[in-house]
Amino acid sequence: MCLFILLSKQFPSYCLTEFLCSLKFQYQVGQLYSVAEASKNETGGGEGIEVLKNEPYEKDGEKGQYTHKIYHLKSKVPAFVRMIAPEGSLVFHEKAWNAYPYCRTSKPDDFFIKIETWHKPDLGTLENVHGLDPNTWKTVEIVHIDIADRSEVEPADYKADEDPALFQSVKTKRGPLGPDWKKELANSPDCPQMCAYKLVTIKFKWWGLQSKVENFIQKQEKRIFTNFHRQLFCWIDKWIDLTMEDIRRMEDETQKELETVRLAVLFGSPAGVSV
């Protein structure tokens, strides 16, 4: 899996980012499994992720899974943002339409984030998959991220059991990823390839903090995507045998667990006790 970030600062109130994640194994099931697990890790202290809806949808011939989540993030942003943020402004709604191989996600608020994803059978060799206009495309900055490179990971985030350079799958024998794993994959025509092209659009309305917050968001996007895909690779033995039916059942269970944990801590009830 390789990851590229394209950052555009053309517009004063918008920030565009494109992530290209190249993989060498089945991705959809692993992605959904890892999202559910990561959601559990981000919930606690009365904050985290609250799932309102997780249901199939069909519109204009497009079929997929629709989710509506609320992110309670007051404790997860820098102090300078908490100090000036209006009450309730650090609660974000996320709406996602997952119609693999195309997915889109939006968080519609004064702080607006939209993520559009195309999954393509290559190693990130296509340009401008999302059809940006030429002027915007020329302004992008490309940042390469290698999930097997420990130096790409913040020291506080590092876990040896989530290091693709050390991990080897018991079930698939994939891994560990060496320094030249991307070249080896490119020279293996019989091995399936997939790249997730993620275009992230950010709109931020708090004037005076825009540049500082956008820089923080860009750093966090890099951190989140790096950690998530390292986990996805190293969790392969947990999800490789799962079906989509297994995933949907797990998502339902995760939704209930997230709400129980969040409310239990928020109202001072012991974990696992209904409130």
The enclosing domain of 80 has a CATH number of 3.30.530.20
Number of neighbouring beta carbons within 10 Å of residue 12: 10
Confidence of residue 122 (pLDDT cuts 50, 70, 90): confident
Confidence of residue 11 (pLDDT cuts 50, 70, 90): very low
274 in a structural domain: no
pLDDT at 81: 63
DSSP string, 71-105: EE-GGGS-HHHHHHPPTTTTEEEEEEEEETTEEEE
Q: Is the pLDDT of residue 83 over 50?
A: yes
Rounded average pLDDT over 94-119: 70
Residue pair 64/100 in contact by the 8 Å Cβ criterion: yes
- Taking all residues of the chain, what is their mean pLDDT, rounded to a whole number? 75
Q: Which residue has the higher pLDDT, 48 or 189?
A: 189
34 in a structural domain: no
Q: Which residue has the higher pLDDT, 160 or 191?
A: 160
pLDDT at 272: 46
Residue 214 DSSP label: H
pLDDT at 84: 58
Domain total in the chain: 1
Q: Is the pLDDT of residue 7 over 50?
A: no
Give the integer Cα–Cα distance in Å for 221 and 224: 5
| Paired tokens of 214 | 């956008």
Rounded average pLDDT over 192-215: 73
30 in a structural domain: no
pLDDT at 271: 46
Highest mean pLDDT range out of 42-51, 77-86, 128-137? 128-137
DSSP E strands, the chain: 2-8, 14-23, 48-59, 62-72, 91-99, 102-107, 111-120, 141-146, 194-204
Q: Which residue has the higher pLDDT, 17 or 199?
A: 199
- What predicted TM-score, i.e. pTM, was given to this entire model? 0.73
Confidence of residue 8 (pLDDT cuts 50, 70, 90): very low
Task: Say what percent of the chain tops pLDDT 90.
Answer: 17
240 in a structural domain: yes
Q: Is the pLDDT of residue 171 over 90?
A: yes
143 in a structural domain: yes
Q: Which residue has the higher pLDDT, 98 or 21?
A: 98
Give the integer Cα–Cα distance in Å for 178 and 108: 40
Q: Which residue has the higher pLDDT, 222 or 250?
A: 250
Residue span of the structural domain in which 259 resides: 2-25+39-266
Tokens 């590092």 belong to: 158
H or E segment and range at residue 265: helix 244-266
